[in-house]
Amino acid sequence: MDIFANLALGFGAVLEPSNLMFCFIGCLLGTAVGVLPGIGPLGTIAILLPVTFGFAPEASMIMLAGIYYGAQYGGSTTAILINLPGEATSAVTAIDGYQMARQGRAGAALAIAALGSFFAGCVATLVIALFALPLTSLALSFGPSDYFALMVLGVVASIALAHGSVLKGLVMIVLGLLLGCVGTDVYTGSMRLTLGTLDLADGIPIIAFGSGVYAIAEILRGLEDEKEQERDVLTTRVTGLMPTWADIKESAWPILRGTGLGCILGILPGGGAMLSSFTSYALEKKISRHPERFGHGAIAGVAGPESANNAGAQSSFIPMLTLGIPSNAIMALMIGALMLQGVAPGPNLVNEKPVLFWGVIVSMWIGNLMLVILNLPLVGLWVKLLSVRNHYLFPAIIGFSAIGVYSVGNNPFDLVVMAIFGVIGYGLTKLDCEPAPLLLGFVLGPLLEEYLRRAMLLADGNPLVFFQRPLTAGLLFVAAVTLFAVLFPAIRNRRRVVFAEED
Amino acid sequence: MAIATRQHRPLSRRNVTFAAIFVGFSVAVGIYAYETLKIGTAAEMGAGFFPVMLSIVLGFLSLAVAFTPIPQGAQPLRFAPVKASILIMGSPLIFAASIQSLGLVAAVALTIFFSSFASRFATLRQSLLLSVGFTVFCVAVFHYLLNLPIALWGDLITG
């Protein structure tokens, strides 16, 4: 009964006309930017975050959530229509979705993706509503050392599950943690690593950081090899949006399985949309009676991963809302946004700001509904957006980001930070580094330090505290095992490669 | 066998560069933090404890990167053209320099105009059109719709 009362509270907040409008604008903007090739949900949020900044916390979170789902859905649209996934989450959708589009079944693929996502969204919303409160009360019993261990586990898991070099991922995380130290120390009030400037007293501005690393660096990458490209946009109109009965029957189980997988994997630290969609694709291929169809337009290969990534995207809100710990870089940005609003995410959020808490949860459902209503009829518009030339687009992105970065603090210095992090971000991609762990580390830094300090203070400086509490020790143990598991096969494989070359 | 592997494992130039930059950075930050901040004790950590600890960890991790081979399928190193890089990286600075003196309208227009020349396909006419059009859009969205407190015209213009 409690759940219904809580959901009613959330509905009350979201159904306010102004918030409904924010949700709508968020979905629309998110899809519009997410459709642009090369810009995934993370980039979209970084670019659009400042737009939401001027509103009340509820409105801005609802809008951000809308942007997030919109961006993700936009990414799937490009994946299906032009085989250009906006980011890794929709990479698997592109495999079979694009094949379906080439066979003239783009409409069915888009519709199944939308319906699967909507179903997954409904279930995930219920799951969050069910588990949020028990998890919150559990979280209140955590000590500082438990939190510390949980974050370490989250960081390790997020590197382990990402692609690319584990070692470089670790370096990015630690660099992010170090950058998070810049600013005034909360405990002593002394200025840390600010290079003597007052402009950094509040730390490195997160929006300038994000825009630099995502917008500037991505634009530069796009300019590396500029040519008069005729994108392989399907010129035929997308027709036949309604999937056939056979399509629906074939997708029903994959959608159910994808939803289940996504709900579980999204909660895991380091999990979220990407892991869910990859796992779902692998699962569907394995248990399918026609695995040979995968890669040639199997609708299950669109239905499963799309449902899974949406469920995963939503359930990754759980650790953020209940523990205040971001499980991936997108949630890290969301936490950044909340903190800019003066709201501290964590187990107390549900008691202190129940309207915000339940409003965000309900807005997920509303956002999904809007996406179904919005995206299917507007597919034509999104396809048009795809044909906008890059050289009209990037100056607009720069202008938009510049205004956004400036609007947060009305301080021109923030733009200098943006330019510097643009250079750093671009340089890092040249050294095969991913910016996502950097961002995650940056947001986690102050939290990690605070819990470390508190744990050590309580233990009177005895580091054994991390081994004496069973929960702390258990979490750290899992983190260590994960780290070894991913580091050592990598070394072995490399050895094997070296040996193979010698032969 | 192990020795043979080690001898034949080629060091990747990119990874050695990576390590050199990062080790240098962590040593510099570590010393800076150590010199300017109190370390404190394990029980009562000073402001410098965490940064110094992190820079030590960062240094060792980066050093380890030097000894890993380059991942397979790594993209060949390519950079954006020099002109494009300067224009793109400089465009936030143009905005920073003009926003308070000239105001939102001029700052956005200048930023868009200059950054658009980073593309090989930019023409003067297109860039002018783009910057005017986008400035109108931004003023409409940010000034009139979102009510951001950024002055349309700066000190230099209003006097």
The answer to whether position A474 is within a domain reads yes
pLDDT, tens digit, 9 for 90 and up, residues A259-278: 998 888 887 766 677 778 88
Interior angle at CA A347, CA A346 and CA A353, nearest 5? 80
* Amino acid A501: pLDDT: 40
Instruction: Give the helix ranges, DSSP H, for chain B.
Output: 2-8, 13-36, 49-66, 82-102, 104-116, 124-138, 155-158
pLDDT value of position A239: 60
Asked, for residue A437, whether it belongs to a domain, the answer is yes
Q: Which of A193, A418, A456 sits opposite B45 (nearest CB)?
A: A456
| Res B5 pLDDT > 50 | no
SS (H, E, C) B45-81: ECCCHHHHHHHHHHHHHHHHHHCCCCCCCCCCCCCCC
Pick from A230, A403, A405 the residue to mutate for testing the B interface (most B CBs within 10 Å): A403
The chain A residue lying nearest B118, using CA atoms, is A223
pLDDT of residue B111: 94
How many residues would you count in chain A? 503
Shortest distance between the Cα of A453 and any Cα of chain B, in A, equals 6
Question: What is the per-residue pLDDT for B6?
Answer: 46
pLDDT score of B120 = 84
Please indicate whether, in this complex, the C-beta atoms of B91 and A398 are within 8 angstroms of each other. Answer: yes
Indicate the pLDDT class of residue B87, thresholds 50, 70 and 90. very high
ipTM: 0.90
CB atoms within 10 A of CB A367: 29
Cα A211–Cα A213–Cα A218 angle in degrees, nearest 5: 95
Indicate which of A49, A155, A171, A496 best probes the interface with B, i.e. most B CBs within 10 Å of its own CB: A171
Residue A21: Cβ within 10 Å count: 13
Q: Please state the rounded mean pLDDT for residues B62-77.
A: 76
The reply to whether A234 falls in a domain is no
Does B97 contact A at CB distance below 8 Å? yes
Neighbours of A387 (CB within 10 A): 11
Give the total number of structural domains in chain A.
1
How much is the pLDDT for B53?
Answer: 93
CA distance B124 to chain A (A): 13
DSSP label at residue B10:
P
**Would residue A341 count as lying in a domain?**
yes
pLDDT at site A162: 66
B37 interfaces chain A, CB cutoff of 8 Å: yes
Q: Are strands A191-192 and A183-184 parallel, antiparallel or unpaired?
A: antiparallel
Provide, as residue numbers in chain A, all residues whose Cβ is less than 8 Å from the Cβ of B110. none
pTM for the whole structure: 0.83
Give A179's contacts in chain B (Cβ within 8 Å): none
Residue A13, domain extent? 2-225+240-502
B134/chain A closest Cα distance in angstroms: 7
pLDDT value for A163: 64
CB atoms within 10 A of CB B4: 11
- Taking 70 as the pLDDT cut, the residues of chain A under it are 1, 37-38, 84-88, 161-164, 227-241, 269-271, 489-503
Beta bridge partners, A184, equal A191
pLDDT average, residue stretch B117-125: 88
Q: Which of B5, B50, B62 sits opposite A498 (nearest CB)?
A: B5
What string of H, E and C letters represents the secondary structure of A159-216? HHHCCCCHHHHHHHHHHHHHHHCCEECCCCCCEECCCCCHHHCCCCCHHHHHHHHHHH
Higher per-residue pLDDT: A498 or B153: B153
Report the distance separating Cα B135 and Cα A342, nearest Å. Answer: 31
B7 reaches A (C-beta below 8 A): no
Q: Residues A79, A101: contact at Cβ < 8 Å?
A: no
What DSSP letter does each residue of A228-258 carry, written as one string?
--------S-----SPPHHHHHHHHHHHHHH
Chain B residues with CB under 8 Å of A431 CB are 14, 17-18, 21
Comparison of pLDDT for B146 and A224, the residue scoring more: A224
* Size of chain B, expressed as the number of residues it contains: 159
- Predicted local distance difference test score (pLDDT) of residue B55: 94
Looking at chain A, which residue has its C-alpha nearest residue B71?
A: A165
Task: Return the number of CB contacts < 8 Å for A and B.
Answer: 217
